[in-house]
């Protein structure tokens, strides 16, 4: 589903400008068939150009943001990576009925907690990228839970992790811990996009890369493949969840598939 407000506003603005232009008194004769035909042709062409699939896609891509900061899609490298991950996370590619179901169930609670700490809402998508909202997922390095905390980081931010208890698997407690961690990272970097990258690779490692390269812009930094794609994954998950129909989501087809598979 295209960002309707942006597109509709653009179309309405164009029509208003055309209306204003042609409503002013003109020096030509009142009855001028050639002028009227030219005017109608110009109006039609401008509206067709504005509503063409290419223009609509351009407007949509320019509207994509992370933590209220627009992505620099004018850069071919950024646009290319964004299109790659938008396609990868689309329903057409993943048949992600479960992803949408988990998002509906858990994201409102996560967003509410993040907001209480002043964390931008877009960070609620981290658990979808990190664990697929599966608290039982563990990485080979030992990260676990919804937010994929390492044990030492989890403990640092107030979670109990032991042989008998693992609060990384508790959505409410782990989200409070994640919010504290994200807030701490923001105090270091002062930029939410860099905060997302630091969440993935670690603050020390990201600072080292920034210092070595003399760059403080995520989209220009040369990072390992996982961190270099991390923000694009978050943005893509966000777009697919918030604009499901635009990415091929069909709730009824999903239900039919699940029934036929016996799940």
On whether both 44 and 172 belong to a single domain, the answer is no
Query: Is the pLDDT confidence value at 3 over 90?
Result: no
On whether both 102 and 54 belong to a single domain, the answer is no
Output the average pLDDT for the chain: 83
Q: CB under 8 Å to 14, separation ≥6 — which residues? A: 46, 47, 50
What 3-state DSSP class applies to 69?
strand
On whether both 174 and 104 belong to a single domain, the answer is yes
pLDDT digits (tens, 9 = 90+) for 34-62: 677 666 667 666 666 556 778 888 888 99
On whether both 84 and 56 belong to a single domain, the answer is no
Question: Would 250 be classed as within a structural domain?
Answer: yes
Expressed as residue numbers, the domain containing 51 is 4-62
Q: What is the pLDDT of residue 66?
A: 97
Query: Do 231 and 70 touch, CB atoms closer than 8 A?
Result: no
pTM metric for this prediction: 0.76
On whether both 26 and 104 belong to a single domain, the answer is no
Query: Is the pLDDT confidence value at 13 over 50?
Result: no
On whether both 252 and 193 belong to a single domain, the answer is yes
On whether both 42 and 99 belong to a single domain, the answer is no
On whether both 40 and 101 belong to a single domain, the answer is no
pLDDT digits (tens, 9 = 90+) for 210-234: 999 999 999 999 999 999 999 999 9
Both tokens of 72, joined, read 């620099």
pLDDT digits (tens, 9 = 90+) for 234-256: 999 999 888 887 877 665 444 44
Number of domains in the chain: 2
On whether both 54 and 17 belong to a single domain, the answer is yes
CATH code of the domain containing 185: 1.10.530.10
């Amino acid at each position: 589903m295209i960002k309707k407000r942006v597109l509709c506003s653009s179309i309405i603005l164009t029509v208003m400008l055309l209306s204003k232009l042609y409503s002013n008194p003109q020096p030509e004769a009142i009855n001028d068939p050639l002028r009227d035909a030219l005017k109608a042709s110009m109006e039609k062409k401008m509206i067709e150009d504005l509503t063409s699939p290419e223009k609509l896609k351009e407007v949509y891509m320019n509207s994509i943001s992370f933590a209220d900061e627009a992505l620099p899609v004018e850069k071919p490298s950024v646009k290319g990576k964004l299109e790659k991950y938008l396609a990868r996370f689309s329903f057409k590619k993943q048949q992600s009925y479960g992803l949408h179901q988990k998002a509906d169930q858990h994201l409102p609670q996560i967003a509410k907690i993040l907001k209480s700490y002043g964390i931008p809402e877009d960070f609620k998508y981290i658990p979808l990228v990190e664990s697929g909202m599966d608290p039982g997922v563990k990485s080979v390095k030992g990260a676990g839970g919804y937010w994929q905390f390492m044990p030492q980081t989890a403990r640092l931010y107030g979670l109990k992790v032991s042989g008998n208890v693992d609060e990384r698997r508790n959505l409410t407690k782990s989200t409070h811990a994640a919010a504290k961690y994200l807030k701490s990272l923001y105090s270091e970097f002062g930029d939410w996009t860099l905060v997302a990258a630091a969440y993935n690779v670690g603050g020390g490692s990201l600072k080292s890369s920034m210092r070595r390269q003399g760059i403080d812009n995520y989209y220009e930094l040369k990072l390992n493949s996982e961190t270099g794609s991390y923000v694009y994954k978050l943005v893509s998950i966000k777009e697919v969840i918030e604009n499901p129909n635009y990415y091929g989501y069909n709730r009824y087809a999903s239900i039919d598939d699940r029934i036929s598979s016996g799940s």
